[in-house]
Chains A and B, each alone.
Chain A
Amino acid sequence: MKKNGKILEVQNLKVYFDTEEGIVKALEDVSFSLKRSEILGVIGETGSGKSVTAYTITRLLPQPPGMILEGKVLFEGEDLLKKSENEMLDIRGEKISMIFQEPMTALNPVFTVEEQMTDVISYHEKISKKQAAEKAIRALELVKIPDPSLVMKKYPHELSGGMRQRVMIALALSCEPELLIADEPTTALDVTIQAQILALILEMREKLGLSVIMITHNFGIVSEICDSVAVMYAGNIVEFSSIYNVFENPLHPYTEGLLKAIPPLDKDVESLNVIPGVVPNLIHPPSGCRFHPRCSRKLDICEKKPPKLVELTDGHFVACHNPLGGGKR
């Protein structure tokens, strides 16, 4: 066990994209951490940088145009940003896995489930395809796929969306990773399937001691399964704490705005648009605090100086010059 029990610490990530339109300042200052067997929700409107954060952690960010300018990603104490591509191959799929939003397109259409799963398993575990197939079947059983040996022989288009997402999870978990990064894994699924997939993720945490980063736009999902939550706005983490703190005692005006309109499970935050104004353009983001043009508690300093993420009360981080509750409880 690591000294502080933290499996992942992301520190001050700054990631820009060099595009034809200009420099997209996608991540400005992103810090958060995750304990073992914890489920962390990362929530934010579309374009806030959730996926970029996930891809930076796993070093799958396309470079160019992406540029990781600053920061550290400490996984079990080692900085992933300093690892070579070869070293990353032993991390991805083996220690950190990902699942994605679109189960329809996330699996390769021209290979069977078996081929896709056994390739990964036999590569990481250095075992024969046959042994890998047995392991794949066990992984499919784990995610409650009925008749796994039949599903192994199928192509993705022969499976339903919910089934595909289960296969995706089985693929991600097949080499017993320690951390699962789930990038909106239920957005494309209908409500009942969504609930099943969330229940499955919870169960995997119990059974395997998995730590999870759950990316979502939906506070409903966060409240259902997460232990802690990081709220992102325009490339910054604006609030980070346990789910209890954030729900009962939000400190950032943006978090408060989101909470005021917890949407039903099947709706996205963006479509409700409860906070006046729109997400800023990240090529020319607002000066100072990027949220200030939309903020009801704006002070003069907010336009000038970007607030730092500070621990205001025990374990409750916020980046705001004028936090709610007067800064103390």
Chain B
Amino acid sequence: MKNLLIRRLLLVIPILFGVSVLSFLLLHLIPGDPARIIAGIGAAPEDVEVIRKEFNLDAPLYVQYISFITGLFNGNLKSINTQDAVIKEIIPRFVNTFQLSLFSIFVSSIIGITFGIIAAVKRNTWIDNLVMGFSLFGISMPIFWLGILLMLVFSLYLNILPPGGKGGFQHIILPGITLGVASAAIVARMTRASMLQVLNQDYIRTALSTGLPKGKVIVKYALKNALIPVVTVVGLQFGYMLGGAVLTESVFGWPGLGRLIVDSIFNRDYPVVQAGILLIAVVFVLVNLGVDLLYAVLDPRIRRR
């Protein structure tokens, strides 16, 4: 287990390097003069030159890369818009996104896995059809529509939850459920499929033949096996959520990373965009690492080597 962890961590290093190079190169891969791109169309030539100097755009690429990375950490890399250190802009937004994602993935796993198990155990009955119907609904429903619907019901009519913004725990519930339900639908389908396969395995028949109650066999002996592929899906979903859920954030005015990046793209605030993309990539890599480790926790055959 320890070996596996070390090997995985070592593998992460080159990936992170590659990702950081790519996000740095972003600006240079756009056709045209980077200084002009940052300054914007129709900027005066003097302004362009100021920017060229400020961003050190005449230096060799590797020097620029190093100053991009160091600037990120020591605060020299500044947002063009606010002149604040990029890192100071991004981290609080990321924390917000992280809270929302954590809540959503929790909602999604609980609902998705529970429904998936029920559908599998009751396969081909009306219960299964109902659960899977809901799941299809959840997948095909536009997320902003669900968001607005929830907002109408719980904020406008019932007036029990705030319609948006960021504050106490009650603020996270509606956006969290909105984001979680869509992903729960996917998790439920995966759990059902995986559970159906596991329920046909010989070891389930063995467990039943020893006289253990069916409920226990399902929740313990079948589920742990069935969760192995589900963990991948949940991990991917979590990764996407951490990348910022622009639609949900917009509907509920949630100050998350997704909106920051979109706003920065519109404002041509390239340092923020670059840093944001780098952060998302890093988080995605780390989530995947977590998934791999969770795999090993669930499946001793992976732990072996």
User: Which residues of A come within 8 Å of B, CB atoms?
Assistant: 58, 60, 85, 88-94, 97-98, 100, 102, 105-111, 116, 119-120, 123-124, 155, 157-158, 168, 171-172
Contact between chains at A110 and B299 (CB < 8 Å): yes
Task: Pull 30 A–B residue pairs with CB atoms less than 8 Å apart, ordered by A.
Answer: A60-B208, A89-B211, A90-B211, A92-B208, A92-B210, A92-B211, A93-B212, A98-B209, A105-B201, A105-B202, A106-B203, A108-B203, A109-B299, A109-B301, A110-B299, A119-B212, A119-B216, A120-B210, A120-B211, A123-B211, A123-B212, A123-B216, A124-B211, A155-B300, A155-B301, A157-B301, A157-B304, A171-B206, A171-B210, A172-B209
**Which residues of B have CB within 8 Å of A109?**
203, 225, 299-301
Contact between chains at A110 and B211 (CB < 8 Å): no
Complex Cα gap A124–B216 (Å): 13
Interface set, chain B 178-225, CB cutoff 8 A to A? 201-203, 205-214, 216, 220-221, 224-225
User: Which residues of B come within 8 Å of A, CB atoms?
Assistant: 201-203, 205-214, 216, 220-221, 224-225, 298-301, 304
Known interface pairs A110-B225, A120-B211, A158-B304; 20 further A-B residue pairs with C-beta atoms within 8 A, sorted by A's residue number: A88-B211, A89-B213, A92-B211, A93-B211, A93-B212, A98-B206, A100-B202, A100-B205, A100-B206, A102-B202, A106-B202, A107-B206, A108-B203, A108-B206, A109-B203, A109-B225, A116-B207, A119-B216, A120-B212, A123-B211
Closest to A120 in B: B210
**Which residues of A have CB within 8 Å of B212?**
89, 93, 119-120, 123
Q: A-B contact count, CB below 8 Å?
A: 76
Q: What's the minimum C-beta distance from A171 to chain B, rounded to whole angstroms?
A: 7
Complex Cα gap A60–B217 (Å): 13
Q: What's the minimum C-beta distance from A236 to chain B, rounded to whole angstroms?
A: 25
Closest to B205 in A: A60
Q: What's the minimum C-beta distance from A276 to chain B, rounded to whole angstroms?
A: 34
Q: What's the minimum C-beta distance from B305 to chain A, rounded to whole angstroms?
A: 12
Q: What's the minimum C-beta distance from B232 to chain A, rounded to whole angstroms?
A: 16
**Which residues of B have CB within 8 Å of A106?**
202-203, 205-206
From the candidates A85, A92, A102, A155, name the one contacting B209 in the complex (CB within 8 A): A92
Contact between chains at B224 and A111 (CB < 8 Å): yes
Complex Cα gap A107–B214 (Å): 16
The 6 closest A-B CB pairs, nearest first, are A93-B211, A92-B211, A93-B210, A105-B202, A108-B203, A98-B209
Q: What's the minimum C-beta distance from A110 to chain B, rounded to whole angstroms?
A: 5
Closest to A121 in B: B210
Complex Cα gap A88–B299 (Å): 31
